[in-house]
Structure 1
Amino acid sequence: MVTAVRSAWREVPSHQVRRFAALALDEVPSLAQDILREIRREYPQLPLVHDEFGEPRALVGIRQSLEHFVAHMTAGLDRPHVHPRVFQEFGRGEGIQGRSLDALQAIYRLGVRLAWRRLAEIGQQVAIPAPAMYELAESGFEYLDGLVAESVRGYAEAAARQAGERLRLQRGLMELLFTGAGSRRRGKGSGAASTAALLPALAERAARIGWPLPEQVAVAVLLRPAREAVAPAVASDVLLDMECERPRMVVPEPDAPGRRELLARAAAGWSGAIGPAVPLLDAAKSLRWAGAAVDLTERGLLPAGELLQCTEHTEALVLLPPEELIEDLTRRRLAPLESCGPTHGRRLAQTLLAWLETRGGAPEIADRLGVHPQTVRYRLRQIRELWGGEMDDPDRRFELELVLRARRLRGELS
């Protein structure tokens, strides 16, 4: 059997409650003025915003909260609290102004303390029993919690709206950085004229999000480890666009001390690549190289699970993306191997590449390949027979080294 909780307030005769409420409502206008005056004295920096009727919104909120609490008290303290929506506006205002809620909560506590002092005096005047007044005080602090919750809700809404607006402006800045600079390089107008037009536009957009224009940037392209993956916790000066299929980052002054290490930690668990450091207006070039590196990562030709530095994978980026050209050159330059069979052909190719890279003798190449020098001499004689005079042509040797390096990068010579 559940025993009902005894309420001292419910045991107060209804005529006393009505008398208490009437006196309290009579006091509301002057009490609200007194509370606002004390708040202004304690917090002189508090901005006083007026509504469309010229009345301070803070005064309206104080008055409404007092009236609502008295109505709640009259209906019975176990009824759900009703909180004026104006307190959401107070929280929203703090968020928009970039202030914290700490001062606002302190102001609310001051207001409740002053209001309770007056209500306690009225309680004595109409002989409300002390246990009932204690219960009323507890309800008052619950009501305060509700006012704070309303302000927190408004604050969160404002913060979310501002964050959304900042992200929108940030994406616009990044798009201008990539496409505006790109069109400048494609020759739409003279270089000097295009730069003169682009820089002010970039500066204006950057200023709206408080982003100082850097001299150099590097652009990173990321691969999502999962659709719901948490965004990298990058520094506040790094522009991040998570709306793309492949998220992108613009990193200012990428060669600053410690920047690489911070980025690697921020992007832990993500795969991606960061392009070379370039002047601000060449950001599209850095983006292009980062995108090419990520393409190779998706194909399994570059390692995944980390943020690669494009400058450390130049050979792969130069040799692997022009696939059709390299494949055509490979077919033409390595045609002599077609008659050798796959296994022996691969061994000859390995030996040829080692010779092209070192131009060393049989012992050096043998040590590199882990075979006997006599084996190397045998293979080199075969190579000379297969390619003949091409081995003495510097251009042909260069092309052979290109295609063989590309095959090694693809794992075909291992």
Structure 2
Amino acid sequence: MGDCSAWEDVPRLQVRQFTDRAMREVPSLAQEILDGICREHPKLPLLVDESGELIALVGIRRALEDFVQHLVLAEGRPHHVHLEVFQEFGRGEGLHGRSLDSLQAMYRLGVRLAWRRLAEIGQQVCIPPPAMYELAESGFAFLDGLVDQTVRGYAEAAARQAGERLRLQRKLTQALIAEHGEPADPVHTRSLAEHAARIGWALPERVAVGVLLRPGRECVAPAVGQGVLLDMENEQPLMIVPDPALAGRPELLRRSMKGWSGAIGPAVALTEAAKSLRWAGAAVRLMERGLLPSGRLLHCTEYTEALVLLPPEELIGDLTRRCLAPLADCGPTQGRRLAETLLAWLETRGGAPEVAARLGVHPQTVRYRMRQIRELWGDEVDDPDRRFELELVLRAQRLRGELSEPIR
């Protein structure tokens, strides 16, 4: 609209006649608009204010009055006055789960009905067409202002809802991983059901708990989907995966965790989630020390050997010193070669050719080393219990990178 308004050419008396008639019809027009909206959106909840009036009806009436009154005050160029009732309407609609599209559809319907009535009044008092066209443009600009107010309220409600859901989700997560008494404790199970019901989470039979390593301070939470619970409040975020063996679940996790790393524990009964968490935590600690691969989400069940042998360092360390005492007088290189040969022999239970193929050396070299091993350990290498202990400590050394990987 330009600086010169078409309404400036309309006699003031005529403008007053138009606005007076429009103001008299505001109550019936507001009711007509609300009735039309209710027909189009029958599930729209109609709340009342403290005086018992319908909040939606009050809002529509105020908007119409504001628009018409400013025809006189602004010489035919209405401007939007902030109406808190529309912000509150947006909050209410957001909390009831309606979309912004449905809200805007209601507003468009209201504008059509209002324009039809104002056009009739314009004809009755002979308002020139250019002024009425300008009024239509002003009406849509006025509508934009109301929509802005509603969207603001809607966004506030959405933010509050999201924050509340995250708070309730964290309470559920903490309840799931909490240590408690008997796995089948009915009190604990009932508590979990209550927490889950607040966020609409269906209790699964089994869960797996993941511990995540943030790729950066400002990283965005992984898009794991609604069924997977995330607790991003910890330094190392937690993830609870329902029914992890469900078809498509592993692939969904793989895609959604791109850029993230961490470990996911074994699947356990719902009330034993703390056990899965312990394994995931142990795996993450090994990842941080470089003893397990990083840069992706590891499944603990694929690294059982490392998780069994590496965390109890004191016990394994003491057993290692006792079992490998015969190597104390050997040099580092010789000791490592003998240890690798002994482990290859224990794993294959084969002769020199099989052990040599595993080590990538000549069979005669293996025979020479095995003679040295028998001289150092004697009959102990034939004792089943001693062989088991030797294989344990040597496998642990290989997992730590102290011995070479065999040739497959």
Pick the TM interval, shorter chain: over 0.9
The alpha-carbon deviation at position 19 of structure 1 amounts to: 4.1
The alpha-carbon deviation at position 106 of structure 1 amounts to: 1.8
Partner-residue secondary structure (3-state), 1:262: helix
* Structure 2 letter corresponding to 1:33: Q
Of the three residues 255, 261, 271, the one matched with 1:271 is 261
Partner-residue secondary structure (3-state), 1:184: coil
Partner-residue secondary structure (3-state), 2:6: coil
Map of 2:222 onto structure 1: 232
Q: Does 1:371 align with 2:361?
A: yes
The alpha-carbon deviation at position 287 of structure 1 amounts to: 0.8
How much identity, in percent, do the aligned residues show?
A: 73
Mapping of residues 326-405 of structure 1, within 5 Å: 326-405=316-395
1:254 & 1:79 partners in 2: Cα distance? Answer: 59
The alpha-carbon deviation at position 395 of structure 1 amounts to: 2.4
Asked if the contact 1:72–1:82 (Cα under 8 Å) also holds between the matched residues in 2, the reply is no
1:143 & 1:303 partners in 2: Cα distance? Answer: 60
1:399 & 1:167 partners in 2: Cα distance? Answer: 49
The alpha-carbon deviation at position 15 of structure 1 amounts to: 4.8
Root-mean-square deviation (CA, aligned residues, Å) is 2.0
1:290 & 1:93 partners in 2: Cα distance? Answer: 42
Q: Scaled by the length of structure 2, what TM-score is found?
A: 0.92
Counting matched residue pairs gives 402
Of the three residues 59, 62, 66, the one matched with 1:61 is 59
Map of 2:115 onto structure 1: 116
Q: Does 1:83 align with 2:82?
A: yes
Cα separation, partners in 2 of 1:343 and 1:12, compared to 1, 3 Å: farther
CA deviations 1:255-282 (Å, max 9, x no partner) are: 1222211111111111011111111111
CA deviations 1:329-382 (Å, max 9, x no partner) are: 223322332322222221111111101111211111111110011111111111
Q: Does 1:107 align with 2:97?
A: no
2:5 & 2:314 partners in 1: Cα distance? Answer: 85
Q: Does 1:292 align with 2:292?
A: no
The alpha-carbon deviation at position 319 of structure 1 amounts to: 0.7
CA deviations 1:133-169 (Å, max 9, x no partner) are: 2121111112212222222222222222122111111
The alpha-carbon deviation at position 40 of structure 1 amounts to: 3.1
Map of 1:31 onto structure 2: 29
Q: Which is further off, 271-280 or 44-53? A: 44-53
2:351 & 2:40 partners in 1: Cα distance? Answer: 89
Unaligned runs of 5+ in 2: none
The alpha-carbon deviation at position 83 of structure 1 amounts to: 3.4
* Structure 1 letter corresponding to 2:209: V
CA deviations 1:304-339 (Å, max 9, x no partner) are: 121111111000000111122222222332233232
The alpha-carbon deviation at position 296 of structure 1 amounts to: 1.0
Q: Does 1:251 align with 2:251?
A: no
CA deviations 1:24-67 (Å, max 9, x no partner) are: 22322232123223333443332221111111111101011112
CA deviations 1:180-233 (Å, max 9, x no partner) are: xx2215xxxxx66xx121111111111111112111111111111112222121
The alpha-carbon deviation at position 118 of structure 1 amounts to: 2.1
Partner-residue secondary structure (3-state), 2:263: strand
Cα separation, partners in 2 of 1:344 and 1:14, compared to 1, 3 Å: farther
Map of 2:50 onto structure 1: 52
Map of 1:188 onto structure 2: none
1:145 & 1:412 partners in 2: Cα distance? Answer: 70
Q: Does 1:220 align with 2:228?
A: no
Cα separation, partners in 2 of 1:323 and 1:79, compared to 1, 3 Å: farther
Q: Scaled by the length of structure 1, what TM-score is found?
A: 0.91
